[in-house]
Amino acid sequence: MPPKKKQKKDNGFMVFMKSMKPQLEAKGHKFPRGLTDVIPVCSPLWNKLSPEEKASYHQKAKDGGGTTFIKEERCDTRGVPLNWKEREEQKKISEKDHLLQKVEDMISYFATQGTLENHYFYLAHFNIAVTTSEGEYPPCEIAIVKFSLLDGIAKCYHDFVEPGQIRLGYAHEAKLHSENTHNIPTFGFKLANSDYVNITNNIKEMLKQPDGGIAPLFVVDEDNAKAIYIVDWLVKKSCQLDDSYETCSPFKIYSLNKLFYELRRQADVNNSTLRFSSIALVAEHFGKGMFFYSKNMACQWHVEEDNVTFCSLTRVRNYAYTISDLCCEYYGLSLLPNRHCPSEIADDNKYVVIPKVTKTEEPEALVEVKKKKEEEEDDREPSGPPRLPNTPATANFKGPGTGRGVLGGSMGPVSSATQSPGRSRAIETAPPAGRGRGRGLLLLADDSD
Ligand SMILES: [Zn+2]
C-alpha cells in the first residue's frame, strides 16, 4: 500500500505506477481517484516484474524520478490545499509584521524629530450591515477623528453609508446584526448617504497631507480586514457612480493597537513600565469602553436611539480619550475637555495646558474653522483648530472672537455640552464633493435634521 501521507520522494512502485498509468488509460482504464485507483491494477503487474526490472524503477526513484504524491495533498473543505493556505498565512503574517514595523518606525521618527506630540493621526471605526462568507463587509456608518497627543481630537468626520443591496441570503443575518449592535436599518434608512463619491472625497480631504499624500487610517486589529475591504469598496462604488473617478485606492490601513503601544512607549523609552505587555492587550483598554457613556460621544441619531455604545463616533472618540488617558501625562500634556476626555470628567486643574513642544503643523486651519465657529449655536463638538505654540489654554471658555483664546473659542461653553436629542445638534457639515476646499474641514454630518 502506498503511504497515506504526503511523502517527499516516490519509491520504485510509485514510479512504475506513474509510468504505467498513461498506457493503462490508453487501453481504456479509468482512474477517477488518481493513483489510488491505479494500485490494484498495477500491483499484479509489479509482482510479475523481474528483480532487475524492479531495481531499475527503484533507481529511478532514487534519482528523483518521482516527487511528491500530489493526490495525497490535504485540502480544506473548499478544496484549497492546506499547504497553499499555510503559505498564504505566512505571507499575511510577514505583511502584518511589515506594517507593524512601519508604524514603529514612523512613531520613532516623529519622536526623534520632536514632532510626535504634534502629529495628527486618523483613528477610524466602521459599522457594517453584515459579514458574508464571501468576505464582504458593506458599511453603514463611518467615523474618523483627527487626533494628536497635544490637541486631542481636532476634527471629526461622521456619516451613515448606504450599504447597497445585501447579498442574497443575508437579509436576515443583517437584520439580526443590526438589532444586536448598532440598530442602523439595513434597508431604506433615510440618513444613509449613497453618494459614495462625496463620502470618499470627504475622507480623502480629511486625510490629505500638505505634500498631497493621504495619511493612513488607524483601526483596531480586529477591524483590519473590514477596514481594508471598506475603503476599497468606497473607491469601487465611487468609480461606478463616476466613470472618471480615480480607480486606484489611496487609502492605507494601519494598526491602531500598535500606534497606541508605540505612543505610550515613546513617552519614555527607558521606562519599561510604560510598555504594554503586548499589542493585543492594548485593545483591551479600548474594549473597556471607559468613555462609552460619557456625554458628547455618539452621533445624534444614536443618542436618539438610546444606543450610544455601538455608534462609530463613540468608538473613535473612545480611542482618542483612552490613548490620551494613558499617554498624555507621560508627555507632560494635560487633558482638554472634549478633546482628550469628556468634559464632565475633566478636572479643572487639568484644563491649563502649556505645551512643551512647538506647534508646527497646519496653522492654516485656523482661519476657516474660526469662521465656521461663528455660525455655530451649540458648539460642543471639539471642532477647533490646533492650539497655538506655547499658548496656555485656560478653562475660561469664552465665545469666539475673544482674542487668541483659541482653545476657549474652539471648545465652546462647557455648560452647553449637554445632549439634547430633541433638537438639531450643531453640525459642521462636509461640503458636497467638488465644493469642499481648504483644510479646515470639520465633518460632522450626522444628518440629524
Ligand atoms: Zn452613530
Supply 400's cell numbers. Answer: 469666539
Residue 178 Cα to ligand 1 midpoint, Å, equals: 12
Sort 413 into a burial class: Cβ within 10 Å, 0-12 / 13-18 / 19+: middle
Looking at every residue in the chain, the average pLDDT score rounds to 77
What is the model's pLDDT at position 348?
52
Distance 304 CA to ligand 1 centre (A): 10
Q: Which whole number is the average pLDDT over 31-41?
A: 82
162 with 48, same domain: the answer is no
C-alpha 303 – ligand 1 centre gap (Å): 8
- Quote the number of domains for the chain: 2
38: burial class by Cβ within 10 Å (0-12, 13-18, 19+)? buried
Q: In angstroms, what is the C-alpha Rg of the chain? A: 30
Residues 68 and 123 in one domain: no
CA 187–ligand 1 middle distance (angstroms):
16
Tell me what the mean pLDDT of segment 217-237 comes to. 96
Quote the ligand 1 centre to 312 CA distance (angstroms): 5
Exposed e or buried b per residue across 170-206, where buried means at least 16 C-beta atoms within 10 angstroms of its C-beta: beebbbebbeeebebbbeebebbbebbbbbbbbbbbb
Alpha carbon distance 331, 58 (integer Å) = 72
Question: What is the end-to-end Cα distance of the chain in Å, rounded?
Answer: 75
Considering the domain architecture, whether residues 333 and 250 belong to the same structural domain is answered as yes
Q: How many angstroms does the Cα of residue 300 sit away from the middle of ligand 1?
A: 7
Amino acid at 74: R
Question: What's the CA-to-centroid distance between 37 and ligand 1, angstroms?
Answer: 61
Separation of CA 143 and ligand 1 centre (Å): 8
Share of the chain above pLDDT 70, in %: 71
Q: What are phi and psi of 21, to 5 degrees?
A: -55, -50
- In this prediction the pTM is 0.63
Dihedral (CA of 20, 22, 27, 31) sign = positive
Dist CA 306 CA 303 (whole Å): 5
What distances in angstroms separate CA 291 from CA 79, 156, 211, 328, one per listed residue? 46, 17, 35, 16
Say if residue 303 is in the same domain as residue 245: yes
* Average pLDDT of the segment spanning 234-254: 95
Per-residue pLDDT band at 47 (split at 50, 70, 90): confident
59 CA distance to ligand 1 middle (Å): 71
Residue 219 and residue 352 share a domain: yes
On whether both 119 and 30 belong to a single domain, the answer is: no
* Same structural domain, 49 and 183: no
Q: Is 436 inside a domain boundary?
A: no
Over the stretch 408-431, which tens digit does the pLDDT of each residue have?
Answer: 223 333 333 333 333 333 333 333
The single-letter code of the amino acid at 32 is: P
Q: Write down the pLDDT at residue 207.
A: 97
Same domain, 42 and 122: no
Residue 447 confidence (pLDDT): 38
CA of 322 to the centre of ligand 1 (A): 19
- Cα of 287 vs centre of ligand 1, distance in Å, is 17
| Dihedral angle sign, alpha carbons of residues 275, 276, 280, 282 | negative
46 and 195 co-located in one domain? no
d(CA 48, CA 310): 74
Please give the Cα distance from 332 to 350 (Å, whole number).
11
Distance CA 136, CA 382 (A): 33
pLDDT at res. 368: 36
pLDDT value for 255? 95
CA of 254 to the centre of ligand 1 (A): 23
Furthest CA-CA distance within the chain: 105
| Contact partners, residue 390, CB within 8 Å, separation at least 6 | 354, 355, 358
Q: Is 189 part of any domain?
A: yes
133-147, 160-174, 314-328, 338-352: the lowest-pLDDT one = 338-352
**In this structure, what CATH number is given to the domain that contains residue 151?**
3.30.420.10
Ligand 1 geometric centre to CA of 149 (Å)? 24
> Is the pLDDT confidence value at 48 over 70?
yes
Domain shared by 241 and 386, yes or no: yes
The whole-number pLDDT of residue 22 equals 84
The residue among 414, 313, 407 whose CA lies nearest residue 369 is: 407
- Number of C-beta neighbours around residue 115 at 10 A: 17
At position 255, the amino acid (one-letter code) is S
Cα(301) to centroid(ligand 1), Å: 6
CA of residue 107 to ligand 1 center, whole Å: 30
User: Residue 284 is placed in which grid cell?
Assistant: 483591551
Q: How far is the CA of 388 from the centre of ligand 1 (A)?
A: 31
Q: Which residues surround ligand 1, an ion (CB under 5 A)?
A: 299, 302, 311
- Does the structure show a pLDDT above 90 at 119? yes
Pick the closest to residue 152 from 413, 344, 410 (CA basis).
410
Task: Say if 382 falls within a structural domain.
Answer: yes
Q: Which long-range contacts (CB under 8 A, 24 or more apart) does 142-145 make?
A: 142/199, 142/203, 142/230, 142/312, 143/299, 143/311, 143/312, 143/313, 143/315, 143/316, 144/203, 144/206, 144/217, 144/316, 145/316, 145/317, 145/319, 145/320
Residue 42, in any domain of the structure: yes
Of the two residues 16 and 124, the one the predictor is more confident about is 124
Q: pLDDT tens digits for 367-413?
A: 333 333 333 433 444 444 444 433 333 333 323 322 222 232 233 33
Query: Among 33-37, 52-56, 101-105, where is mean pLDDT lowest?
Result: 33-37
Distance of CA 267 to the CA centre of its chain: 24
CA–centroid distance, 315 to ligand 1, in Å, is 9
* 72: confidence class by pLDDT, cuts 50, 70, 90: low
C-alpha cell belonging to residue 385: 483648530
Query: What is the per-residue pLDDT for 347?
Result: 58
Asked if residues 413 and 424 have their Cβ atoms less than 8 Å apart, the reply is no
- Going from the Cα of 49 to the center of ligand 1, the distance in angstroms, rounded, reads 78
How far does the centroid of ligand 1 lie from the alpha carbon of residue 114, in Å? Answer: 36
**Could you tell me the pLDDT band of residue 66, with boundaries at 50, 70 and 90?**
low
* pLDDT score, position 449: 36
pLDDT above 90: percentage of residues in the chain: 49
In a domain, 400, yes or no: yes
Q: Please check whether residue 333 is in contact with residue 406, taking contact to mean a CB–CB distance below 8 angstroms.
A: no
The DSSP output letter for 298 is: S
State the distance from the centre of ligand 1 to the C-alpha of 448, rounded, in angstroms: 11
Residues 217 and 318 occupy one common structural domain: yes
Q: Between 148 and 434, whose confidence is greater?
A: 148
In the block, which residue shows the cell 467638488?
434
Domain annotation covers residue 84: no
Q: Are residues 239 and 153 in the same domain?
A: yes
431 occurs within a structural domain: no
What is the distance in A from the centroid of ligand 1 to the CA of 84? 41
Query: What mean pLDDT is predicted for residues 33-61?
Result: 84
Q: Is residue 108 part of a domain?
A: no
Structure confidence at residue 222 as a pLDDT band (50, 70, 90): very high
**How many angstroms is it from 201 CA to the middle of ligand 1?**
20
> How far does the centroid of ligand 1 lie from the alpha carbon of residue 313, in Å?
6
Q: Domain span at residue 337?
A: 114-416
